[in-house]
Amino acid sequence: MFKRLFLLLWLTRSLLAVEEGSASLHDKIEITAKKLTSTKSTVTARDGVVVYYQDSVIRADSAFYDRETQLLVLDGDIEMIGYQGTKEHMKHLEIHTGTKEVHFEELFFISKNDVWLFTQEANKKEGNYTFGETILSSCDVTDPTWKMVASRAVYDSGDKYMKAYGAKMYFKDVPVFYTPYLAFSTDRNRGYGIYGTFRFIDSDHSSGSMRLGYFRDTEDFRKREGTREIEHYGFEMKYDSTRIISDLFPDGFKDELYLNGIYLNDIEYLNLQQSQFSTFGQVPIQESRLNYFLANDEYYFGLNAKYFIDTRLTDNDTTIQQLPVIQLHKYLDRLIWNNLTYSVDLQLKNFDRLEDSTMKQAEMKIPFEFTTAFWDDFVNLSLGETLYYNKSFFGNGDYTYNDFEYFNNYHSAKLFTDLTKKYDSFIHVLQPSLEYVLPGSESQSPVPFDDLSQEQKDLFVVGQKEEYVALSLSHYFYDTDMNLKFFQRISQHYYVDREYKFSDISSEMQYNWRKWQFYSDITYAVEFDEIRESSTRITLNESSYNFSLGHTFKQQLADNSVTVSANDINLNFGYRWDDTVRMYGSLTYNIDTSESKQWLFGGSYKKDCWGVTAALRQDITPRPEGATTENSFYIQFDFSPFVSLGSASFQ
């Protein structure tokens, strides 16, 4: 027969005993064993010991508990199973029930995601583990394909997040990578990578990376190539967080902060790199961006800032900066009646620089809309009124007028419907609409906008909305299982006061047949009787392979609305040999120049806890100093679910 002893223990910082009846059920300790002895202050259990503590079940060879020190000690072959699916094996375990601190010796830990860890010594407090020298992997325990060895590590069991210090990555027994610090999630639902950057503030809701670079040319190279600077240096930083201060607000609020910044002394800092942060290209004007928003279902607050560096200039004093824009928005809401709605948008803008004109501006837009239906909801009518106000203040110069005020309004009316009809083998949805926009009144003070100085007018544009009629038609065909088979969207504007009344016609359509997709998007310039832009694509998606062939066309017409021409054929394909091997490739070919702009061919192998991806690629990249051809070889190792690393290229 088993003897059972139930001990109700209190979690308190005091050394004094308290009444058992008020202990939290979560903090109760229950011990069962075949052999159990006790004194006034101690309990000793042997042979088949099972301990239930804080949603964990612990099996051990022996257990000892001291009531006075509130210390529970277990020895032997110990196994702990947590309610979140974790398992822990160890030789020695000490639990300080008063402080909730836990000490382990020879700990083997495995999560429900099959990530395992072994360390000689570890401590746990409030869900956070601190490990000594640690081995971890997600491969087979007896002979892991890869493993990570760290001098020490910290693990947050709540966020499933690991921080490793002095980490060495081994493939079999061969070391392939070392980093002094590495942070990653152990949850397979997330993905993290290692890049040629320093990562920081990585968590379940945030991530960050920074990079510094410095290059110095020889004097001979500078004279030969005519570079402006002999030294090229820069700093790049990216940070994103989906939780900043939203926890301080009532339920329903969410916020996010995004920072993508760069500082460099000239464009060669980017040209000399083998790989760039994906957001920064070799264009002469580099942009840093800061975005933050806080919102719920009714209100939105946004803070946006942009900082530009023009690498063509000797300094940045005349480059206009947007520091910052503050936006306050009231989402669409009813006004008196349910079919009368409004919204409010307020923006405060600051355009600044050291030299030349600057401006501070406040603008507000308030649209009102009344919607009703006729003939049993077959026809809908929308009547709108939009109010716009702008107040601008100018600085950093002597102007005849230091401020400018502008107001306008416009009226709109829209007839639209949403019709659905079911046939024997398909369902047809038809959505035509006809909209008319009429400009209203306009006020400009103290003078008309055209009478401001050119420096002031370069900072912003105001103007009354044009009078136009817009016709659009969308229709969709579904099969009886509501799978989309075909859609088409077509639209055109008629401008009353323009010399040429008709705008471009836009037509987009797609036909889905079995695993095939046929897509077309065409913009036709009626005035010039020519196609301005077009994009066509044929796609096949099968379980073991996919294929896509497309054509992109853009041409410059007399109105110069398209600034960059294109006439390219695009080919993409992928083939899955089995669950472990996949091959893929792509080609972009310019018809006008009869040469490729880019090609790529690669493959990947993935098995259980690891994988490898390799590819060959050629890019012809336009740069301010002239186009260059770059041949690249890329290889990446994936150690699931931790990291992806590895990249190489050659010129």
Residues 239 and 337 in one domain: no
Residues 364 and 406 in one domain: yes
> For the chain, what is the domain count?
4
C-alpha span between 262 and 235 (Å, rounded): 6
Residues 237 and 300 in one domain: yes
Residues 423 and 345 in one domain: yes
pLDDT digits (tens, 9 = 90+) for 166-177: 888 888 888 877
Residues 336 and 464 in one domain: yes
Residues 160 and 263 in one domain: no
Q: Is the pLDDT of residue 313 over 60?
A: yes
pLDDT digits (tens, 9 = 90+) for 250-283: 888 888 888 888 776 655 555 544 444 344 444 5
- The first and second tokens of residue 410, run together, are 């416009």
Q: What is the number of other CB atoms lying within 10 angstroms of the CB of residue 261?
A: 20
| Structural domain includes residue 549 | no
pLDDT digits (tens, 9 = 90+) for 535-594: 999 999 998 999 999 999 988 888 777 667 888 899 999 999 988 899 999 998 888 777
Give the mean model confidence (pLDDT) for residues 41-65: 87
Residues 308 and 447 in one domain: no
| Structural domain includes residue 607 | yes
| Model pLDDT, residue 211 | 66
**Domain end marker among 166, 185, 204:** 185
| Model pLDDT, residue 8 | 31
| Structural domain includes residue 310 | yes
Range of the domain at 623: 593-651
Check which CATH number belongs to the domain holding 102 and give it: 2.60.450.10
**Domain end marker among 185, 214, 231:** 185
**Domain end marker among 468, 488, 503:** 503
Residues 404 and 460 in one domain: yes
| Structural domain includes residue 125 | yes
C-alpha span between 395 and 414 (Å, rounded): 42
| Structural domain includes residue 555 | no
Residues 134 and 207 in one domain: no
| Structural domain includes residue 568 | no
Half-sphere exposure in the Cβ direction for 78 (13 Å, CA) = 23
pTM over 0.85: no
Residues 419 and 450 in one domain: yes
Cβ–Cβ < 8 Å for 180, 629 = no
Residues 156 and 270 in one domain: no
Check residue 514 and give left, alpha or beta (phi > 0: left; psi -120 to 50: alpha).
Answer: left
| Structural domain includes residue 541 | no
pLDDT cut 90: percent of the chain above it: 32
Cβ–Cβ < 8 Å for 561, 532 = yes
Between CA 25 and CA 32, with CA 28 as vertex, the angle to 5 degrees is 130
| Structural domain includes residue 140 | yes
Residues 179 and 201 in one domain: no
User: What DSSP element (H or E) covers 615?
Assistant: strand 610-621
Beta bridge partners of 51: 31, 58
pLDDT digits (tens, 9 = 90+) for 393-429: 998 888 888 999 999 999 999 999 999 999 999 999 9
Give the mean model confidence (pLDDT) for residues 487-510: 93
| Model pLDDT, residue 232 | 62
